[in-house]
Structure 1
Amino acid sequence: MRHPLRRASALAAAPVLSLALLAVPGLTTPAQAAAGDLDPVAAQRAGDWLAGQVDDGLLTYDSFGAPFTDYGLSIDAELALAAVGGQDATVDAIAAAVAEDPTVYTDYAYSFDGAQYAGRAAGAVAKALVGLQAAGVDPATVEQIDLVGALEAQTADTGATAGRIADVATKDGEPDPTGDFANTLGQAFAVRGLQAAGSDEADAATDFLLLQQCGAGFFRQDFAPATATDQACGSGADASVDATAQAVLSLLPQAGDAEVDAALADAAAWLAGFQNANGSFDSGADATAFPGNANSTGLAGWALGDLADLGVGAASAGAAADAAAWLRARQVAGVGDCNRFDDADLGAVAYDDTALKGARTDGVRPADRGQFLRATAQAAPALASSTDTGEDAVAAKDLARKGRALTVEVTGLAPGATLCLTGSGAGRGETAGATAGRDGSAGLTVSPERAGTATYEVRGESGVVGSVDVRVLGPKTLGVDTARRAERGGSHVVTVSGLVPGERTVVTFRGSKSVTRADEEGRVVTEVRISGALGLATLRAKGQFADRTGEATVRVVR
C-alpha cells in the first residue's frame, strides 16, 4: 500500500483546455528557512496582488472582448495564496464561491452545427475537489455534485487503463469518445484529490500516473489512446515541463514509497538538467513554441523547491533559486523614484520580457490581465525560493570625476530584486534603477554634475539597503610650492596644495616621479630627484584626474 498523505499540499499544473491551470500550494523549506537565507518579499507581493484581483471569491477578466469568470483560474489563485501564506480570508472566499455550485466549472453543455454536446471534465472535478480540500471545506457539503463519487466514477477500474481518469462526453445523448481530453495534468490532480479523500481508487490512480513517466525522467502530457494495450510512456513522447512539475507536486505527499521516491529522483534530475542557463524553463522540448516563460518556470521552480525540501536531487535547491531569480526579474516591481509601473500593478508577474515591457508602457491592460493572473498564480509559490546572497553592502570609489560615469556597486541582494539609487548633494536629482543579477549584485551608474560630496542612497523592495558618500572632483589648478633653484644630483622638496584628502597625486620632474596621496589637509609634501641639463625646467603635479594639475619652474644649478 502507498503511504497516506502526511502533510497538506495540493497540485500545480499548466493551462489545458477547460482545466485552465492546475496548481499546488508549495511546501515550506525548513532547511533553508533555518539558515535565514530566504527572502519572502517577492512571493508576498505576488500574493498581495493576486488577492487584490479576487472579487466575490472569483477572478474575472476580458476574453475575446467579453468578461469571463474563470473558476479554474480562481482555484489556481486560491492554491497559490495558500502556498504563499497570509491570505486566509481570500483562500476561504474562493473556496466558498466554488462550493456554491462546482458544476458551473465541471460540467458543460452547448450546441454546435446542429448537434448537442454535454459532458463532465474529470480534471475539473479533481481540481474542484482539491480546491475545497485545501481550504478545509468538506466536499460532502456540496449539494450539486458528489465530487469524490464523480471522480471515482470517471477513474477506470480494470484493464490496461486501470486508474486512468476520463472525461464523460455525449453527442446528441450518445457517448462521444472524441470528447475525452483527460491527460497527465488532470491525472496528477486526481491523485491528490483521491489520496486526500482516502479513496479506494487512489493507489490505482497513482500507479497510472507513474506509468506516464518516460525513460529520460520527464512526464508526458498526453495519454496513449484509450484502446492501447500498453499505457506506459513510449520513446516517442514529447517532454513537458508543466506535466512533469505537476506530477512531482502530486507525488510528493507519498514520498517514502520506494517507487515514488525513484520517480521523484528521476524527475528532479531531468528538471534541473532541462533548465535554461538564465534560470528560466521552456514549456517543452520545442523551445520555439513557448520559450522561457513564467508559467513553466513557475511550476518547475515550485516543484524543485519542494524537492529540495525533501533532499531529493543534488541540484534541486540551486535550480529552484535560479528559477525564482528569473521570475523576480520579471515581476512588476518599482522602488521610489525609479518606479515605472502603475502602483495597482505592483507584485504581478509578467509572462515574459515582452509582457513586462508592455506593463511598463501601458500598465496591465484589460486584454492582458488574464495572462498576468495565470502567470502570477503559477509563479508566486516559486518566488518563495528567492534567496539572499549575504549581508547587504553599498560601495563606490571614494573620489569621482565631475561629469563622468560613476558606478555604485551593491552586493548581498536577492537575485532579481529591484533597486533604486537616488543622489543628494553633488549627486542631487540623480536616480538610477537596476535589477540584481544571479550573484545578488548590481551596478548602478550615475554621472555627478557638481563638485562636492555626493550621497547616494540605495533602496530595495524592503526599504533602504545602504548609502555611500563620494567626493566629486572638478577641474582645478593645484598649488605647487618649491624652491626656485635646485642642485643637480640632489633631492628637491615639493609641496602640492588644493587637493582633497586621500587624492592620488603624481609629481614629476624630467625622469623622476613621486606618487603619493594627500593628507587630511589636502596637501602633499614629497621629494623628487634633480637631473638633466642645467637651466630652467618645469616641475609638474597631477591630482586624481587629468584636469587637476599644477606646475612650477625650477632652475637647475651645479
Structure 2
Amino acid sequence: MGVTVPFGLASGAGSARVAGGTAEQAGYAAGFMVRTLAGNEDHYNYPGGESFDGGNTVDAILGLDGAGLGRTEADAAFAYLRKNVGGYIGTDYSSLYAGPTGKVLVAVVAHGGDPRDVGPKHVDLLAQLQSSLGAAEPGRYSDLPVTGCGYDPCDYSNTIGQALDIIGVGRATGSAPKEAVDYLLAQQCTDGGFRGELAAAGGACTSDLDATAFAAQAVTGLRGADDAAATRALAFLAGKQAANGGFLNGDGQYNANTAGVAAQAFAAGGRRAELALAQGFLASLQLDCRADESLRGGVAFTAADRAILTSTPTTDKQKTAFDDAVDRALRATPQATLGLAGGDLLGVSVDGASTAVPAEDCPTAPTSTTSTATTSTAPAGSTTAAAAPVATPAASAAPGALAFTGADVALTALLGLVLLLLGAAALVLARRKGAHA
C-alpha cells in the first residue's frame, strides 16, 4: 500500500449514542426505517423502480446502528446487502464503482462484518479499492475500468466517494494511503469547503456542502478536529448554517439530507452547538401523529414535503406529489437518523444495539357514543413498534420536543356541547324534509 497515514477516532468524534434530546427522534426515525425496510424485503429500491438502492440501504443500516435500535432489521438489511453487494459496487459486471465500494466498506466495518470476505462471491473490498487507487491519476480512487467501458465517461468518482473510501479503509486497517489523503486535501477550496467533483490541484474551486460534510469527517479521522484543514471545513459548514439549523441547497430549499450529513460532521468535530442546531432542524421535518401511521417517524426532505405528507391527497396531481414526497422521505430519513443520534461515520457501530423499536404513542381515536351506547375505538393493533410523536413545527426549536397529545378539558366539553346542539338541529331539519318529501 506504500506510505500510510494513521486513522482513528479523533478527540471530537464519538461513537457513544446520545441520551435524551433528539434520542427519541432518532428512535422514532428508526421505527420508520424498520417498517419500510421490512415491507420491502429488507432493502430499499431506487425511486420508481425495482432496482436495489444499495447506498440508501447502507445509510439505513448505519442509521439504525447509530440509533442503537432495530438490530433485527438492521441485521436483515445487512444480510441483503452482502448477498447483493456485487450488483451495487459493480464487481458482478467486471467493473468497480469506487464510492459505493467505500460506502459498503464503512457499513461492513460498522456492522461487524469481514471487509475481505463479503457476500456469496467473497468480495475483498480492500483489495478492490487498492486496485482502483491511482488508476486514473495518482491518489484518486477511480471507477473501473477508467476507459473502454462503452460509456463516456466511465469514471464518475467524486469527492464524496474519495472521503468514504478513506474512512472505510481507515476504519478497516487503522490507516489510509498518504497519496489518497493528499489527493482529498487537494480538493479543499480557499473558503475551507471541498469541491464536489474531483480535479487536480489548481483551477477554479467551488465548494459543495455535502462533499464538505463527508470530507470533514475523513480529515477529522485522519488528523483530528483541531487540524487546520478540518477546522476550516467545519467552519465553512458552520458559516453556511442558517438560523433554523438547515442548509440551502442549489434549489433554494433547506433539506434533510444536507442537514443530516452536516450534523454527522459536527458530531465528528465536536461542534456541539452546531450539531444541536442541525438536529433541531431535522426534528422539525419529522412526521408526527398528524401523518398516516405508516409514515410517522420518517423525516421529510423539506418543509414543503412535510406539509404534503401530513395532508390527504384527493386529486391525481396531489397523489403524485404525495408519492414523490414519500420517496424523498425514504432517502432523507436514514442520513437524518444518524445525525439525530449524534453519530458520525468515524464511530458508528452496531455494538450494543438493541432489537427494540420505540412504540407508537399517538392519542387514540376519539370515542363516539351512539343511540345503542356502543363505543368506537381505534383499530386493534394501532399501538405498534413504530415511529411516534415527534417535534412539530411549533415545538421544533427545542430538540426532543414531542407532538401535542393532550387537550384542554373545558374546551373539549364546550366543543362537544356545540356538536350535540348542531346534531339535534340537523335531526329536526331532516325530519322536516322527510315530512315534505
Q: Normalising by the residue count of structure 1, what TM-score does the alignment of the two structures yield?
A: 0.57
Q: Which residue of 2 aligns with 1:149?
A: 127
Q: Which amino acid aligns with 1:58?
A: D
Q: Which one of the candidate residues 275, 278, 299 is aligned to 1:320?
A: 275
Q: Which residue of 1 aligns with 2:407?
A: 422
Q: Aligned partners of 1:430, 1:162: CA distance in 2, in Å? A: 73
- Tell me the secondary structure at the aligned position of residue 247 of structure 2: coil
Q: Which one of the candidate residues 264, 271, 274 is aligned to 1:302?
A: 264
Please, which runs of 5 or more residues in structure 2 have no aligned partner? 314-318, 344-393, 419-437
- Residue correspondence of structure 1 range 450-489 to structure 2 within 5 A: none
Task: Report whether the alignment pairs 1:265 with 2:231.
Answer: yes
Which stretch of structure 1 is more off in the superposition, 67-76 or 262-271? 67-76
Deviation at 1:280, TM superposition (A): 0.9
Q: Which residue of 2 aligns with 1:507?
A: none
- Tell me the secondary structure at the aligned position of residue 94 of structure 1: helix
Alignment check: 8 A CA contact 1:156 1:164 kept: yes
Change (3 A) 1:199 1:264: closer
- Tell me the secondary structure at the aligned position of residue 2 of structure 1: strand
Task: Report whether the alignment pairs 1:27 with 2:14.
Answer: yes
Q: Aligned partners of 1:355, 1:412: CA distance in 2, in Å? A: 19
CA shift digits 1:132-187 (9 cap, x unpaired)? 111111122232532111111001179xx42211111377x668662111000100
Q: Which amino acid aligns with 2:275?
A: A
Alignment check: 8 A CA contact 1:423 1:429 kept: no
Change (3 A) 1:109 1:85: closer
- Residue correspondence of structure 1 range 484-499 to structure 2 within 5 A: none
Please, which runs of 5 or more residues in structure 1 have no aligned partner? 10-25, 111-117, 225-230, 309-315, 335-339, 387-408, 432-447, 450-558
Change (3 A) 1:423 1:358: same
Q: Which residue of 1 aligns with 2:63?
A: 80
Change (3 A) 1:419 1:76: same
- Residue correspondence of structure 1 range 20-419 to structure 2 within 5 A: 27-28=14-15, 38-55=21-38, 58-61=42-45, 63-64=47-48, 66-107=49-90, 119-142=95-118, 143-156=121-134, 161-169=137-145, 178-198=153-173, 202-224=177-199, 231-232=200-201, 234=203, 236-256=204-224, 261-283=227-249, 287=250, 289-308=251-270, 316-334=271-289, 340-362=290-312, 365-384=322-341, 414=399, 417-419=402-404
Q: Which amino acid aligns with 2:196?
A: Q
Q: Aligned partners of 2:154, 2:400: CA distance in 1, in Å? A: 45
Deviation at 1:40, TM superposition (A): 1.3
User: Radius of gyration: which is bigger?
Assistant: 1
Higher RCO (CA 8 Å, separation ≥ 6 residues): 2
Change (3 A) 1:108 1:306: closer
CA shift digits 1:54-102 (9 cap, x unpaired)? 13763235734x3333122111111111111123222222222222241
Q: Aligned partners of 2:128, 2:341: CA distance in 1, in Å? A: 35
Q: Aligned partners of 2:396, 2:84: CA distance in 1, in Å? A: 52
Deviation at 1:368, TM superposition (A): 3.7
- Tell me the secondary structure at the aligned position of residue 381 of structure 1: helix
Deviation at 1:427, TM superposition (A): 5.1
Q: Aligned partners of 2:50, 2:152: CA distance in 1, in Å? A: 31
Q: Aligned partners of 1:257, 1:359: CA distance in 2, in Å? A: 38
Alignment check: 8 A CA contact 2:29 2:298 kept: yes
Task: Report whether the alignment pairs 1:4 with 2:45.
Answer: no
Q: Decide which structure has greater helix share.
A: 2
Q: Identity over aligned residues, as a percent?
A: 26
Deviation at 1:423, TM superposition (A): 1.3
- Tell me the secondary structure at the aligned position of residue 266 of structure 2: helix
Deviation at 1:330, TM superposition (A): 1.1
Q: Normalising by the residue count of structure 2, what TM-score does the alignment of the two structures yield?
A: 0.71
Q: Decide which structure has greater strand share.
A: 1
Coordinate RMSD, CA, aligned = 3.5
CA shift digits 1:430-479 (9 cap, x unpaired)? 69xxxxxxxxxxxxxxxx99xxxxxxxxxxxxxxxxxxxxxxxxxxxxxx
